[in-house]
Amino acid sequence: MVPFPPPEEALARIWTDEERALVADRVSTQLVGSPRTVADRLEQLRDATGADELAITTITHQHADRVRSYQLLAEEWHHR
C-alpha cells in the first residue's frame, strides 16, 4: 500500500515546475464521478483504444475509501 499524505499536507506542499507540469499533463486522463460516469468513460476509452484490459488506480488518503471506490466501480462494471 502506498501512503498518501493527508489533504492538508498535500495542499501545503510547494511543488516544483516539473511536478506541476506532470499533474497538468495527467488531468485529462483522470476519471472522476459516479460509478456510472466513470464506467461510461472507461468503456469509451476501451472502445477507442481497443484495450482488452484496464488498470485502475484510485488515489485517496484513506485506504478504506480507495477500496470502496473499487467496489463501487466493480459493481457498476459487473452490470454491463
CA atoms of 70 and 79, how far apart (whole Å): 14
pLDDT in tens, the chain (80 residues): 667 788 898 889 898 999 889 888 988 889 999 999 999 999 999 999 999 999 999 988 889 999 999 999 999 999 98
**pTM, entire model:** 0.74
